[in-house]
Amino acid sequence: MSAVVAVFAPLDKPLSYEVPAALREQVAPGVRVRVPLGNRRALGVILELASAGVEGLRPVEEVLDLQPLLSSPMLAFLRRAAAYYHHPLGEVLRAALPAGLTAVKTRVNIVTERFYRAACAVQDPPGARQREILAWLRGREEVPLSEISRHFPAPHAVLKRLVELNLLSVREGERRRDPFLDQPVPVDVRPVLGVDQQQALAALLDALAAGRFAQFLLHGVTGSGKTEIYLHAIAAVLEQGRQALVLVPEIALTPQLVARFRTRFQAACARVAVLHSALSEGERYDAWRAIARGEVQIVIGARSAVFAPLPDLGIVVVDEEHESGYKQSEGWRYHARDLALLRAQGSAAVVVLGSATPALTTFYRTQAGDTGYLSLDARVLGRPLPEVELVDLGGRRLSGALAPELMEALSATLERKEQALLLLNRRGFAPYLLCRECGATFRCPNCEITLTYYQSRRRLRCHYCDYVQRPPERCSGCGGTSIEPEGAGTERLEEELAVAFPVARIARMDRDTTSRKGAHQSLVDGMEQGAIDILIGTQMVAKGHDFPRVTLVGVIGADSSLNFPDFRSAERTFALLTQVAGRAGRGTLQGRVLIQTYAPTHHALACAARHDYLGFYEQEIAFRRELGYPPFGYLINLVLAGNQPLQVERCAAELAEELSRKAGEVEILGPAPCPLARLRGKTRYQILLKAAARAPLHRLLGVVDSRRRKLPRTLSLAVDVDPLDM
Ligand code: ADP
Ligand code: ZN
């Protein structure tokens, strides 16, 4: 007997191994095995078994799972994914499995404690304290004893009694710090759906009842009640006895959404698992196993949750489907939204792509008719969209980062005791230091980029590789000493505002201030409780939050993202502006948005100001059609990287030449240095392949594969199918 094994290694093909007689009972497709690979050991997953033996195969050494870890639909899905992305299957499987399951290594020491979970029962216990603790636990998933003790002193006796009454279940598990356990539990409001919400929901329910694959775009402005529709559709899926998967761009930034799901489905006794980065390896594995056994009805997570092994997946929600966070930027460069579609096809599931600013490619598919189009044109309860004004900075010199118009609007907002949100998509104090005498800037020694200046810590830092140095006293070029920060980041903006509004309570939300655990949450709490008057931040402030008392949104440097050398820069700018504008006036108060710009007539700005997605789409799609960019053409980007610049350049040239000879209808662009031509000490070149159809592109990748085998070891070659950054 022999087994075909996808080994967790960057190999072109699965390998065949002999199955020794002693292991025959244990092998099956989908189980992990340990096998010899060269002169080392590796793990892999059995894809197929063949009864006929083959001479000269090396043997499988050990079978690691009692039951298949990957079901056959999951295996089929991952094989299709590997083919689509032209990525080694073993590496694809490795990415899809919890980390602890793919490495040959020993386990770490685990500290355990007791976890309590409210049982799914309606009756209440007799004691007041018992009722109090139980009510608290009912709003949560599973809570460790240490956490309960923080809220209720000496709870042991009460917990013991509740377990005896079968109102709580208890298990011993690995100790953890789960940021989602601290969530205040919101009250479950179940609004009566508006007419267009009902229509959208009806379409989803029809598709679910049909039990076939179907995909929909739910296009609704911010605050139009999309989440409410997800909740209703998922309820229907649970009724069918199937499960739901909810993908969000960044799980750490969506505690409010998670809390809403938990509360809503508490009553239905559905188990909601949240896959987030704070889970330990062991917890991830436990969650994964519980999901595979069908014990979890709803999984919420970021892009890698698309691999959650729900056995009978009925619906996949991809919230904010346009977000670039769904694209994996290293290793296997998959896009979770596209994988969600692929997966749903194999599971006869319904996919709902939700967004206020759908990706152009997604909206185009609705025009072509392959994707159902559901739209919510207005905010719930007739709340108006905020008024957006463009503040034209052309020909003006500002004394600081803020125009007087924005300053005035801020004072008025503070006077009314309402809240303001300011977007400046750049961290640090200033994007660079400049020598006033010779014009030199200070760059990262490893990356092709200026070092960001942090005034508070007196440091220069690289945002790509984290290289840090002290700011120089003198310019290394001319020896001059007038070295000054140029431009403004969030840190500088905070300082400027503190001077202008000395009594205002100002806070900053960016990657620097939220890296500590719980820091993001405390900013959200501060906003909700009215302890912050002005929240400054990077694009993080634009994401998902629902702060009803924010009535002013200001955008500083809206154009900076327009100047990226990328055909999607307008689309990104439009989406970000629309998203952040959507944070204003979500409650009962009217919102106002001021956008400072040098390009007020650019369609990304003009259309965002009018809340005009369609207008933007029309202009942008015409431009894409003309240039043959997606959705009218397909792209694959090849990225060569290595330590020796000349070698990288030469290999890129040779590869491009070979590709050109066999190109057929594929257009070969480059080789050219990547937009980030040096990153973490490596020189990077890219070759962009472009064609009107996918098939010729994939055919051409055969050339890349045979090349890859001949590349010097010091070079890496990445294949990025449907690239987002290039
Ligand atoms: P979106 O996901 O489109 O931003 P949400 O579903 O979060 O919108 O809805 C925004 C707010 O409006 C939420 O607080 C939600 O509870 C509320 N809401 C949703 N639908 C309705 C409705 N039909 N009537 C009243 N309130 C609603
Ligand atoms: Zn760097």
Q: Which 3 state secondary structure label does DSSP give 482?
A: coil
- pLDDT, residue 108, reads 43
Q: Is 651 annotated as a binding residue?
A: no
Extract the tokens encoding 344. Answer: 């749903």
User: Residue 191: CA atoms inside 13 Å, Cβ hemisphere, count?
Assistant: 13
Q: What is the pLDDT of residues 68-120, one digit of tens each?
A: 889 999 999 999 999 999 999 999 999 999 887 877 654 444 567 888 988 87
- The protein residue with its alpha carbon nearest to ligand 1, atom 18, reads 225
Cα–Cα nearest to 532, from 607, 441, 422: 422
Report if residue 218 sits inside a domain. yes
- Last residue of one domain, picked from the residues 572, 589, 623: 623
Are 243 and 362 part of one and the same domain?
Answer: yes
Are 152 and 296 part of one and the same domain?
Answer: no
- The protein residue with its alpha carbon nearest to ligand 1, atom 20, reads 225
| Domain, as residue range, for 145 | 112-174
- The best mutation among 222, 321, 380, 546 to test binding of ligand 1, ranked by most ligand atoms within 8 Å of the C-beta, falls on 380
- Strand arrangement of the beta sheet that strand 459-461 belongs to: 452-454, 459-461, 468-469
CATH of the domain at 343: 3.40.50.300
Q: What is the DSSP letter of 385?
A: P
- pLDDT, residue 119, reads 83
Q: Which 3 state secondary structure label does DSSP give 205?
A: helix
Angle of helix 195-210 versus helix 226-239 axis, rounded to 10: 30
Q: Is 607 annotated as a binding residue?
A: no
- pLDDT, residue 626, reads 92
Q: What is the DSSP letter of 543?
A: S
- Ligand 1 centroid, distance to 200 Cα (angstroms): 14
Pairing outcome for strands 534-537 and 506-509: parallel
- The protein residue with its alpha carbon nearest to ligand 1, atom 19, reads 225
Nearest ligand to the CA of 449 is 2
Are 367 and 218 part of one and the same domain?
Answer: yes
- Ligand 2 centroid, distance to 462 Cα (angstroms): 5
Longest pairwise C-alpha distance within the chain:
84
- Ligand 1 centroid, distance to 139 Cα (angstroms): 20
Are 308 and 408 part of one and the same domain?
Answer: no
pLDDT along the chain (726 residues), means of 10: 93 91 92 93 94 85 88 95 93 89 59 81 83 85 84 89 90 64 67 94 97 96 90 96 95 81 82 83 81 92 95 97 93 96 96 96 92 90 86 88 94 95 92 88 85 90 88 87 89 93 94 85 90 93 84 89 83 93 83 93 94 95 92 94 93 92 90 88 92 91 81 89 86
- The best mutation among 195, 227, 374, 381 to test binding of ligand 1, ranked by most ligand atoms within 8 Å of the C-beta, falls on 227
Residue type, 443: R
Q: What is the pLDDT of residues 397-441, one digit of tens each?
A: 888 889 999 999 999 999 999 999 999 988 998 888 888 888 888
Report if residue 481 sits inside a domain. no
Are 510 and 648 part of one and the same domain?
Answer: no
10 Å Cβ neighbour count for 195? 7
- Ligand 1 centroid, distance to 490 Cα (angstroms): 31
- Strand arrangement of the beta sheet that strand 419-424 belongs to: 387-392, 592-597, 550-556, 419-424, 534-537, 506-509
Report if residue 341 sits inside a domain. yes
- The protein residue with its alpha carbon nearest to ligand 1, atom 25, reads 191
Nearest ligand to the CA of 218 is 1
- Last residue of one domain, picked from the residues 40, 72, 101: 101
Give the integer Cα–Cα distance in Å for 80 and 302. Answer: 21
Are 408 and 546 part of one and the same domain?
Answer: yes
Are 73 and 167 part of one and the same domain?
Answer: no
Q: How far is CA 589 from CA 286, 410, 580, 585, in A?
A: 45, 16, 17, 5
Q: Is 447 annotated as a binding residue?
A: yes
Report if residue 32 sits inside a domain. yes
What pTM, to 2 d.p., does this model score? 0.88
- Ligand 2 centroid, distance to 447 Cα (angstroms): 4
Q: Is 269 annotated as a binding residue?
A: no
- pLDDT, residue 572, reads 93
Give the integer Cα–Cα distance in Å for 1 and 23. Answer: 10
Are 222 and 346 part of one and the same domain?
Answer: yes
3 state SS for 78-133: HHHHHHHHCCCHHHHHHHHCCHHHCCCCCCCCCCEEEEEEECCCCCCCCCHHHHHH
- pLDDT, residue 110, reads 52
Are 602 and 674 part of one and the same domain?
Answer: no
Torsion angles phi and psi, residue 649, rounded to 5: -60, -45
Integer Rg of the chain from CA: 27
CATH of the domain at 56: 3.40.1440.60
Q: Per residue in 87-118, is it b (16+ CB within 10 Å) or e — as a string? A: bbbbbbbbbbbbebbbeeeeeeeeeeebbbbb
Are 577 and 687 part of one and the same domain?
Answer: no
Report if residue 475 sits inside a domain. no
Are 235 and 360 part of one and the same domain?
Answer: yes
Peptide bond preceding 155 in cis form (omega within 30 of 0): no
Cα–Cα nearest to 609, from 590, 633, 593: 593
Contact residues of ligand 1, CB 6 A cut-off: 189, 191-194, 197, 220, 222-228, 380-381
Are 228 and 284 part of one and the same domain?
Answer: yes
- pLDDT, residue 106, reads 42
- Last residue of one domain, picked from the residues 598, 623, 648: 623
Mention every residue, 6+ apart, whose C-beta is less than 8 A from residue 692: 628, 632, 633, 634, 665
Give the integer Cα–Cα distance in Å for 640 and 687. Answer: 8
Instruction: Count structural domains, the chain.
Output: 5
Report if residue 58 sits inside a domain. yes
Report if residue 137 sits inside a domain. yes
- pLDDT, residue 62, reads 92
User: Is the alpha carbon torsion for 61, 67, 70, 72 positive or negative?
Assistant: positive
Q: Which residues pair with 459 in a beta bridge?
A: 454
Give the integer Cα–Cα distance in Å for 685 and 673. Answer: 4
Report if residue 520 sits inside a domain. yes
- pLDDT, residue 175, reads 63
